[in-house]
Amino acid sequence: MQARLLLEDGTLFTGKSFGAEGELTGEVVFNTGVTGYQEVVSDPSYYGQIVTMTYPLIGNYGISRDDFEALVPSIHGLVVRRYEPIPSNWRAQYSLGDLLKEHDIPGISDIDTRMLTRKIRQNGTMKGIITTSSVKSVEELQAMMASVSVEELHNQVASTSTSFLYHNPGAKERIVLVDFGAKNGILRQLNQRGCDVVIVPHDTTAEEVRRLNPDGIQLSNGPGDPKDVPHAVQMISELLGEYPIFGICLGHQLLSLACGADTEKLKFGHRGGNHPVKELATGRCYITSQNHGYAVTEASIAGTELEITHINNNDKTIEGVRHKKHPAFSVQYHPEASPGPQDNNYLFDRFLEMIKEHKQQNPKRSRQAEMMAVAKGEL
3-state secondary structure the chain: CEEEEEECCCCEEEEEECCCCCEEEEEEEEECCCCCHHHHHCCHHHCCEEEEECCCEECCCCECHHHCCCCCCCCCEEECCEECCCCCCCCCCECHHHHHHHCCCCEEECCCHHHHHHHHHHHCCEEEEEECCCCCCHHHHHHHHHCCCHHHHHHCCCCCCCCEEECCCCCCEEEEEECCCCCHHHHHHHHHCCEEEEEECCCCCHHHHHHCCCCEEEECCCCCCHHHCHHHHHHHHHHECCECEEEECHHHHHHHHHCCCCEEEEEEEEEEEEEEEEECCCCEEEEEEEEEEEEECCHHHCCCCEEEEEEECCCCCEEEEEECCCCEEEECCECCCCCCCCCCCHHHHHHHHHHHHHHHHCHHHHHHHHHHHHHCCCC
CA-closest candidate to residue 258, choices 310, 296, 208: 296
Active site residue 334: yes
| Catalytic residue, candidates 23, 249, 252, 323 | 249
Cβ proximity of 95 and 101 under 8 Å: no
| Catalytic residue, candidates 292, 310, 334, 358 | 334
**Exposure of 361 by Cβ count < 10 A (0-12 exposed, 13-18 middle, 19+ buried)?**
exposed
| Catalytic residue, candidates 23, 27, 242, 336 | 336
Distance CA 229, CA 218 (A): 16
Active site residues: 249, 334, 336
